[in-house]
Amino acid sequence: MLLHIPNVLSPEDVQRLRQRLDAADWTDGRETVGAQGAQVKRNEQLPDASPLKAELGATVLAALQRNPLFFAAALPLKILPPRFNRYAGGGTYGFHVDGAVMANGAQGHLRSDVSCTLFLSAPEDYDGGELVISDTYGEHEVKLPAGDLIVYPSSSLHQVNPVTRGVRVASFFWVQSMVRDDVQRRLLWETDNAIQRLRQTGGDADAVLQLTGVYHNLLRRWSEV
């Protein structure tokens, strides 16, 4: 499921993060990928050991916890601490698939079910830099307002187009979902949306109750908690 989640960060939050990131020391992004990824990756990242990465990542995680749309879509069990990257001067990341299992510090490992990119640059501030996600319906170009988030299956082939003007800054991270299968997550998402619409429009209370029971029984059956 490919989903745009708006306003994860407020404009004030984006401005605070950008002020810190614009003054940060960046390193070669190839340091965090294997040999295959290094062949197509040309960007910069905050070092994993950077205190700034941990500080700003905590800000992103707090914003996610306040966002019911993110929870409903991703059904997070574990979230890899957010990372931050920077593309400029032709920086790009060619087509690749994210690693299936990632080290997650003291928590051991995390299975990547959902990939997330939180845009921190306004789209008019740079040319290129689109996140291109390939699935069974073709290729989708994503370039969102600063503070907005895109979530998509980690199994998807994707790339970042070259940035030919300006700077593209983003946070990115992965989620191990309570529900491993993307089709099942989509069905739960659609069911939850239907429940919310029925409640908002004054739908039949008994039907809402029954549909809510269906949602939770499916989640109970499919979750790996």
Mean pLDDT rounded to a whole number for the chain: 95
Residue 31 banded pLDDT, cuts 50, 70, 90: confident
Percent of the chain with pLDDT over 70: 97
Residue 218 has a CB neighbour count (10 Å cut-off) of 15
Alpha carbon distance 103, 189 (integer Å): 28
Alpha carbon distance 185, 177 (integer Å): 9
User: When comparing pLDDT for 106 and 67, which is higher?
Assistant: 67
Residue 32 banded pLDDT, cuts 50, 70, 90: low
Please compute the mean of the pLDDT values over residues 64-79 and round it to a whole number: 97
User: When comparing pLDDT for 134 and 39, which is higher?
Assistant: 134
Residue 36 banded pLDDT, cuts 50, 70, 90: low
Cα 17 to its chain centre, rounded Å, is: 17
Res 224: pLDDT = 94
Q: Which residues, 6+ apart, have CB-to-CB distance to 56 below 8 Å?
A: 17, 20, 21, 46, 82, 84, 171
Percent of the chain with pLDDT over 90: 91
Residue 185 banded pLDDT, cuts 50, 70, 90: very high
**pLDDT at residue 200 above 90?**
yes
Residue 36 has a CB neighbour count (10 Å cut-off) of 10
Domain residue ranges in the chain:
3-177, 182-222
User: How far is the first Cα of the chain from the last one, in angstroms, to the nearest whole number?
Assistant: 21
**pLDDT at residue 30 above 70?**
yes
Q: Which fold has domain 3-177?
A: Jelly Rolls (2.60.120)
**pLDDT at residue 164 above 90?**
yes
**pLDDT at residue 132 above 80?**
yes
Do the domains 3-177 and 182-222 sit in the same CATH topology, yes or no? no
Res 162: pLDDT = 98
Res 34: pLDDT = 61
- Give the CATH class of 182-222: few secondary structures
| Burial class for 29, CB neighbours closer than 10 Å (0-12, 13-18, 19+) | buried
Please compute the mean of the pLDDT values over residues 53-79 and round it to a whole number: 97
**pLDDT at residue 127 above 90?**
yes
| Phi, psi values for residue 98, rounded to 5° | -65, 150
Please compute the mean of the pLDDT values over residues 167-193 and round it to a whole number: 98
Residue 33 banded pLDDT, cuts 50, 70, 90: low
Res 102: pLDDT = 94
Q: What pLDDT, in 10s, does the model give residues 76-110?
A: 999 999 999 999 999 999 999 999 999 998 889 99
